[in-house]
Each structure stands twice: as C-alpha cells, then as structure tokens.
Amino acid sequence: MGMTLTEKILARAAGQSAVKPGDNVWIAVDILLSHDICGPGTIGIFQREFGKDARVWDREKVVLLPDHYIFTKDDKAHRNVDILRAFAKEQRLPYFYDPGTRRYQGVCHVALPQAGHVRPGEVIFGTDSHTCTHGAFGAFASGIGNTDAGFILGTGKLLVKVPETLRFTLRGVKPDYIMAKDMILKIIGDIGVEGANYCAMEFNGDAVSALSLDERMTLCNMAVEAGAKNGIMAPDDTVLDYVRKRTHKAFEPVFGDPGATVAREYTTDVSRLEPCVAEPHSPAKFALARERTNVKIDRVYIGSCTGGKLTDFVAAATILKRRKVKVDTFLVPATQEIADALATPRSGGQSLVEIFQAAGCLDIAPPSCAACLGGPVDTFGRTQAREVVVSTTNRNFIGRMGSKDAPIYLASPLTAAASAVTGHITDPREFL
Amino acid sequence: MTATKPVTIRGPVYVVGDDIDTDQIIPAQYLNLVPTIPEEYKKLGSYALSGLPAEYPPFVPKGGMESPFRLVIAGRNFGCGSSREHAPIALGAAGIEAVVALSYARIFFRNAIATGELYPLECGERLTDVWATGDEAELDLQAELIRHVKSGRAFPLKPLGAARPVVEAGGLFAYARKTGMIAARTP
Ligand code: SF4
C-alpha cells in the first residue's frame, strides 16, 4: 500500500520503511524554528531539563527569528530578545537574526524560506502554529509548544502521531480577482475550524501548480485554522528552483505514492470562486464580499505571514494605483526583503511605496508581526477600541488585533484594497 | 508543573462555550511573560481566560492571582489558534487541574500533555448543558468518569489513548526518561 507525501516524509525521518496514520513514532528533526515569544520559554525548559551547561543538539539546525514584539517600548519584549541573543551567543548559533542589525529579517514564516532554511522532504518544527506554512515547499512542518521545542533542542527528536491525510484538489483557471486567500477561506468555510483537526491537509491540482510560491504559502499557512497538523503540497520546479538558489545544503525531495489512501477528498473549482471575507470571530465564517457591502469599516490592515508577502502588496497596488483610500490603511511587509522590494521602482517606473503613498495609505511600517496579534499597546496598527477592520491576516478571534471590541474581517489583499477605497467591504471586481 | 496529580479532582467548575481560542485563554499582550520564570508563571495565571467576552463572570477575581475554580468545562475545539504553551500554563498556574471538553484543537491538547499542566479530557456529551459555572464536579481519573455532584449524574470520559502513558509519567520529559529516550536525571 502506498504512502501519502506526509507519511513518506515521516517514515524517512523515523528511519522506517513505512508508517501509517495513528502510529506514534520518534522522528529526527531537520529544523527547529523559534521566535521572541516562545524562544525564551523554550530555552528555559531546555536549561531546566538538560542542565545549565547543555549544548543544543545541532547548531546548524536551530533558527531563531525574532519577529513578534520588535518595534515597541515594552521592557519585557526587549528582555525576551536579550534572552535569545545571550543564548545564541552562548551556544554559538549561526542562525540568529538579531533585530537592530542588518541580519534582522521579520516575520519568521516568510523569512525562514527566504533565508534558505526550508527544503523539500525535511521535517520542520516551530514554536508557532503557522509553521505549517512551509508545507508549500514540500516539507513536513508543524507548530509545537515550548516543552516539545525544549525537548528537540536537547535531542533533535520528537514523538509524533502520524496524521491522516485529507486531500484538497483545486482545479480550473483562477480568475484574476481571486487569490489563494479566497481559496483557503472557502475551504475552511466548508470544512469548519475543526474540519482537519489532527490531520494533514494536502493540496494538489492544476490550480495549485499555477500559483506563485507566495500564494501557495497562503494556502498552507491557514491549514492550522482548520485544525490541521500540517499543510503540504508536492514540490515542483518552481519550488526546487527557489530552494536551490537559497540553501547551501543538499536535499532530497519526497513525493507521495500514486495509490496512497487518504481519509477524505475534496475538490474545488477555482474558476467559480468569488471574492470573500471571513466574518468575526471565526476564520470559518465565510461570506461573499459582494453580499457584505453594508459593512462600514474603519481601517484596512495588509500584513502578516499570510497577507504581507510581495505578491500581496502587488495585488493591493493594482487596485490602489491612481485611487485614494477612504480609511486608515496600515501596510506591514512581512520581511525586510519585501520592504526593500516595495521601495524599488517597478516596470512602470513607480515603486509600490510611491503608489501607496499617492493613495493616502499610512507610512509603511518596518517588517514584523505588528498588529496581526495585537501585541503591546504601542504596536503599529493595534486596535484600541471599536474599530472595524478588514485584514489580510489569518485570525479574526475576539481581541486578536488588540481590542476585544474590534470586529475583524479576513480577506484577500485585493478585497482589502478595494474596501480601503470605498470605506466598506467591497468586491474587488468593482475596480478590476 | 509536572507534579503527580491526584486520582480524583473535586471542585467548582467554570463553563465556557465552543471554539475558545488561545487569544481568549491568554491574550497576546501577556505573551511577553516567560513561563519558566516563577513570578511570570504566576502572573500568567492571573490573566488566564481574561480574553473572554465581557458576558462571562470573572475567572480570576480582580487583583487575585488564582482562580477559585478547579475544572473548566468546555464545548468543541477548545484551545484553537496559536501554539502558545502559555495557554495550558496560564490555566494550570491559575489552579485548574483538568479541562473536560467535547473536543480540542490539536496543539492545545499536545501542549497540555507535554507540560503535564492539566488533563485535557474529552467527554462525548455536551457537559456545558449540564453544568453551570460554580457547580461542583467530581472527576475520577481511574474510573474515567465525571460526576455532577448536586444531581449525582455521571458521564463517561473518553480514554486518553496513546497520550495516557505520557500523562501518567508526568509529561514529555518524564516519559522520555522513563522509556530510555533520554538519560535519567543525575541526582
Ligand atoms: S504574522 Fe501573525 S500569524 Fe504570522 S507569525 Fe506573526 S503573529 Fe503569527
């Protein structure tokens, strides 16, 4: 019997010829990612359990990307980055991307592949639930807590239960008003926030292969919003070319067996999708943008590991070019590499920064998670009262962006930009 | 932390609904607290469930550090959202020994087991319709039952399955030492 892509990667990492869903196996970890929120606790557990003088299992495999609370006056936030810095120094970790230096990257899930730490066929764990993003490169990637991460730091291994695979086939030609965000919001709306609990969400089909890497990352990124352990897709030439340019390590891609059994299959025809939003307070509360034009908004937020990639800003710019925004529009590139690209003149001679400035958006913030998860009170874009937000982020839970009173509508960058222009939720087809 | 838990847990319960996410369990502004620093561990407890909507009664009394409740009874998908271990830790630090829910989000379940902070138990019945906040419950971990003390009604809990040996050992590290995955602690 064949194995799915997820099962094959886990079998290899467990040193077994085969695994099946439900097996509990110890697997070897290729990359452990942590950041400023969970890193200090992870380090605390590592030192408590393995001793003050313990060394990490492999310096090359630990990546520390502080990103959450960077541009704030909060003392403890700075203390936490200091803990990471001290640990990186003590352990001589080569991959600590220190804020305030030229090495600083920004949001960990966009930075990890950019900095060359994501390779097909590998096992990545991170102390952040959106670690599932890296499945877009054909890796097994999943979010864990500090205790599991502390264990990996000391041993390089983790006990995991092999998940069942749910297969999502996306077919058809995507219209230009549809983005990966619409696809994943539709899927989560259909299967619900528990629809993939404990499972692997595997994406395939011609509509997936046609997506840019940024867009594929959006699909895998939100797998956790349906409860999934990981999101994953088979690596193709687009992935292999990208990875080869960025990593200096050899890797061996893994592909699922053709006859592998999956627990459930779903098919979506992307040519029939319409621009949508997820209404407060659940990513599964699906609604069509054109049916919510009565919702007046106070601000638009474009940023995060889901909606702050270059493709997301390029999409927003197609709408904002030569138009004016009616509400406060916050733009937060995920990483410094993206921030640099925004400032670079494009084919039309204008940079994206200039387009956004002319549209009346607020000044672009430095790269970080910023208001995607609220954060300290002085965080850029954080809601403080009853502001209604259209956001390209991934979660619209109560209080997620700061204030418990601020309703959040999740949307694609196109829908977010169109809504910024009108001041209410708007279907981007009005402007395309 | 990983202290062995008693076999029966009795006390007042706090009842919450479906899809209680980690931002409601511990709002992001408190994630600057590091759980392995003892004072900050306690502080996390004082903020547990402070992200719930205003209709909910206080879980930790104003100005207090611990909750008067011993158990949380929840609906579906408890602990969805972020991987922050601060969530089971905040509940554990506040004095909660077990959560009994219809179902859990994967990472919360795993973090509760790995830390040994609390028992994440499942019951196939909607206990949120049986208990009201403040009602007493008696949890028998041996018999895998939860009893509504006033009415005497008892409900079976689902077996913990593969997670049970990890919980019994007292968390991931204790389990790994017991099974020889990592070296036993040198005294
Ligand atoms: S951008 Fe948002 S979702 Fe992504 S890692 Fe940061 S806080 Fe989490």
pLDDT band at B4 (very low <50, low <70, confident <90, very high): low
Q: Does the structure show a pLDDT above 70 at B187? A: no
User: Of A208, A239, A268, which residue constitutes the final position of a domain?
Assistant: A268
Name which of B29, B115, B181 is nearest A374 (Cβ-Cβ): B29
Which domain, by its residues, includes A127?
A: 5-268
Quickly name the fold that domain B8-178 has. Answer: Aconitase; domain 4 (3.20.19)
pLDDT band at A300 (very low <50, low <70, confident <90, very high): very high
SS3 A384: coil
Q: Does the structure show a pLDDT above 80 at B168? A: no
One domain, residues A306 and A215:
no
> Which atom of ligand 1 is closest in space to residue A308's alpha carbon?
1
A68 contact B CB<8A: yes
Q: Does the structure show a pLDDT above 60 at A364? A: yes
> Which atom of ligand 1 is closest in space to residue A108's alpha carbon?
5
User: Of A252, A268, A284, which residue constitutes the final position of a domain?
Assistant: A268
Q: Which residue has the tokens 């990592």?
A: B182
The Cα of B79 is separated from the nearest Cα of chain A by a number of Å equal to 10
Name which of A143, A397, A398 is nearest B107 (Cβ-Cβ): A143
| A window 106-125, beta carbon within 8 A of B | none
Q: What is the mean pLDDT of residues B81-96?
A: 96
Q: Does the structure show a pLDDT above 70 at A309? A: yes
Closest chain B residue by Cα to residue A128: B83
Question: Atom 6, ligand 1: which residue's CA is nearest?
Answer: A369
Radius of gyration of chain A (CA): 21
Closest chain A residue by Cα to residue B51: A399
CATH, residue A51:
3.30.499.10
Determine the pLDDT at residue B5. Answer: 53
- Beta bridge partner(s), residue A143: A126
The alpha carbon torsion through A142, A84, A337, A126 (nearest 10 deg) reads 0
Strands of chain B, DSSP E: 8-15, 71-74, 98-101, 119-122, 136-140, 145-148, 154-156
Edge-to-edge strand list for the sheet holding A200-204: A230-232, A200-204, A165-171, A264-269
Q: Which residues of chain B neighbour A26 with C-beta distances below 8 Å?
A: 181
| pTM over cut 0.95 | yes
Determine how β-strand A200-204 pairs with β-strand A165-171. parallel
Q: What is the mean pLDDT of residues B175-185?
A: 89
pLDDT digits (tens, 9 = 90+) for B47-57: 999 999 999 99
**What integer best gives the mean pLDDT of chain B?**
93
Token readout for A151 is 């264990």
B187 contact A CB<8A: no
Determine the pLDDT at residue B153. Answer: 98
- Whole-number Å distance between alpha carbons of A4 and A39: 32
pLDDT band at B161 (very low <50, low <70, confident <90, very high): confident
Q: Does the structure show a pLDDT above 50 at A211? A: yes
- Whole-number Å distance between alpha carbons of A233 and A135: 6
Q: Does the structure show a pLDDT above 70 at B117? A: yes
Q: What is the mean pLDDT of residues B100-127?
A: 96
pLDDT band at B87 (very low <50, low <70, confident <90, very high): very high
User: Of A217, A240, A268, which residue constitutes the final position of a domain?
Assistant: A268
Q: Do A147 and B114 touch (CB under 8 A)?
A: yes
User: How far away, in angstroms, is A225 Cα from ligand 1 center?
Assistant: 13
Name which of B32, B81, B107 is nearest A74 (Cβ-Cβ): B32
The Cα of A315 is separated from the nearest Cα of chain B by a number of Å equal to 27
Question: Atom 2, ligand 1: which residue's CA is nearest?
Answer: A372
Q: What is the mean pLDDT of residues A231-243?
A: 98
Q: Does the structure show a pLDDT above 90 at A271? A: yes
Candidate from A38, A221, A305, A391 with most ligand 1 atoms within 8 A of CB, to mutate: A305
Q: Do A375 and B29 touch (CB under 8 A)?
A: yes
Q: What is the mean pLDDT of residues B23-27?
A: 96
User: How far away, in angstroms, is A108 Cα from ligand 1 center?
Assistant: 8
Determine the pLDDT at residue A7. Answer: 98
One domain, residues A260 and A387:
no
| B window 117-146, beta carbon within 8 A of A | none
Q: Does the structure show a pLDDT above 70 at A388? A: yes
One domain, residues A109 and A128:
yes
Q: Which residues of chain A neighbour B111 with C-beta distances below 8 Å?
A: 144-145, 147-148
One domain, residues A113 and A146:
yes
One domain, residues A365 and A425:
yes
pLDDT band at B170 (very low <50, low <70, confident <90, very high): confident
pLDDT band at B2 (very low <50, low <70, confident <90, very high): very low
A230 contact B CB<8A: no
- Whole-number Å distance between alpha carbons of B173 and A277: 42
Determine the pLDDT at residue A348. Answer: 83
- Whole-number Å distance between alpha carbons of B183 and A168: 42
Q: Do A143 and B83 touch (CB under 8 A)?
A: yes
pLDDT digits (tens, 9 = 90+) for A55-80: 999 999 999 999 999 999 999 999 99
One domain, residues A186 and A72:
yes
Question: Atom 4, ligand 1: which residue's CA is nearest?
Answer: A305
pLDDT digits (tens, 9 = 90+) for A88-146: 999 999 999 999 999 999 999 999 999 999 999 999 999 999 999 999 999 999 999 99
- Whole-number Å distance between alpha carbons of A357 and A351: 10
One domain, residues A248 and A110:
yes
Determine the pLDDT at residue B6. Answer: 62
Determine the pLDDT at residue B186. Answer: 61
pLDDT band at B165 (very low <50, low <70, confident <90, very high): confident
SS3 B110: helix
Give percent of chain B above pLDDT 70.
96
User: How far away, in angstroms, is B110 Cα from ligand 1 center?
Assistant: 20
**Neighbouring C-beta atoms of residue A57, cutoff 10 Å:** 17
Q: What is the mean pLDDT of residues A368-386?
A: 96
The Cα of B131 is separated from the nearest Cα of chain A by a number of Å equal to 24
One domain, residues A404 and A365:
yes
Q: Does the structure show a pLDDT above 60 at A372? A: yes
Q: Do A44 and B31 touch (CB under 8 A)?
A: no
pLDDT digits (tens, 9 = 90+) for B139-156: 999 899 999 999 999 999
User: How far away, in angstroms, is A348 Cα from ligand 1 center?
Assistant: 32
Q: Which residues of chain A neighbour B33 with C-beta distances below 8 Å?
A: 76
B50 contact A CB<8A: no
Structural domains counted in chain A: 2
Determine the pLDDT at residue A36. Answer: 97
Q: Is the sign of the CA dihedral A194, A396, A178, A129 positive or negative?
A: negative
Give percent of chain A above pLDDT 70.
100
One domain, residues A357 and A261:
no
Token readout for B118 is 């609390």
pLDDT digits (tens, 9 = 90+) for A29-45: 999 999 999 999 999 99
So where are chain B's domains? 8-178
One domain, residues A148 and A33:
yes
Q: Are A44 and A52 in contact (CB under 8 A)?
A: no
Strands of B114-166, DSSP E: 119-122, 136-140, 145-148, 154-156
Q: Do A145 and B85 touch (CB under 8 A)?
A: yes
Token readout for A323 is 């138009």
Q: Are A113 and A107 in contact (CB under 8 A)?
A: no
Residue A334: CA atoms inside 13 Å, Cβ hemisphere, count? 24
Q: Does the structure show a pLDDT above 60 at A184? A: yes
Determine the pLDDT at residue A428. Answer: 98
**What integer best gives the mean pLDDT of chain A?**
97
Q: Does the structure show a pLDDT above 60 at A387? A: yes
User: How far away, in angstroms, is B93 Cα from ligand 1 center?
Assistant: 26
Q: Which of B27, B15, B5 is nearest to B115 (CA)?
A: B5
pLDDT band at A174 (very low <50, low <70, confident <90, very high): very high
One domain, residues A144 and A286:
no
Spatial CB neighbours of A39, under 8 Å, sequence gap ≥ 6: A64, A66, A80, A83, A84, A87, A127
Q: What is the mean pLDDT of residues B91-101?
A: 97
| A window 268-287, beta carbon within 8 A of B | 282
Q: Does the structure show a pLDDT above 80 at A410? A: yes
> Which atom of ligand 1 is closest in space to residue A67's alpha carbon?
6
Q: Do A80 and B29 touch (CB under 8 A)?
A: no
One domain, residues A281 and A264:
no
Q: Which residues of chain B neighbour A198 with C-beta distances below 8 Å?
A: 106
Q: Does the structure show a pLDDT above 60 at B1? A: no
| Residues framing ligand 1 (Cβ under 6 A) | A 68, 107-109, 128, 130, 304-305, 369, 372-373, 393-394
Q: Are A351 and A310 in contact (CB under 8 A)?
A: no
Q: Are B23 and A408 in contact (CB under 8 A)?
A: no
Q: Are A157 and B181 in contact (CB under 8 A)?
A: yes
pLDDT band at B64 (very low <50, low <70, confident <90, very high): very high
